Amino acid sequence: MAYELIETIEVGAGGAASIEFTSIPQDGVDLVCLVSGRATSSSAGGIEVRLSGDTSSNYLQRNLLGTGSGVSSTGGTDTAFQLATNPSTYTSNTFGNMSFYVCNYTSSATKSIKVDLVSENNAAAGFQRLISGHWNNTAAVTALKIFKPGDNLAQYSTASLYKIY
């Protein structure tokens, strides 16, 4: 098993509403996207990941959460995977980190997803999540979109896409 970097993208000045990888090569087994992100607003909502342009309610996830002051678990179904990154209120120049893993991304079966992420903040408030997910779609993953609804990814946010074979 080996990781092969497909592409790394860094958001430029002014930020960006989304990063979208398209025409993902179909010669790997698993797919991994590593994101270092920060939002430009203070809104609590996190970043989201959408696969192959699918806007249906095909994204199922179960979360284990830590907030810095407690722990909890949540879950549900949505139109994208619900993740998280640093809001603008967190310590300046800090970025949240996330690993988004798709198993058998070219297969004609529905896909298992694994995510782990942490925020970075020099304060008590900081979050961590472990997510087991399921993309209830049998299509191959040909595109991956990272976005924060109603907000921008800040300059210097990065996304790196790897295939594993």
Please give the residue ranges that form the binding site for another protein (CB under 8 A): 6-7, 9, 11-12, 14-25, 41, 43-45, 147, 149-152, 161
Smallest distance, another protein to C-beta of residue 28, A: 12
DSSP 3-state assignment of 41? coil
Smallest distance, another protein to C-beta of residue 7, A: 6
Give the nearer residue to another protein in terms of CB position, either 64 or 110: 64
DSSP 3-state assignment of 146? strand
Distant-in-sequence, close-in-space partners of 136: CB < 8 Å, separation ≥ 6: 58, 59, 60, 110
Give the nearer residue to another protein in terms of CB position, either 25 or 110: 25
Smallest distance, another protein to C-beta of residue 133, A: 20
Which pair of structure tokens corresponds to residue 54?
Answer: 């699918």
Give the nearer residue to another protein in terms of CB position, either 85 or 152: 152
Q: CA dist 132 to 46, 61, 80, 83, Å?
A: 17, 6, 14, 12
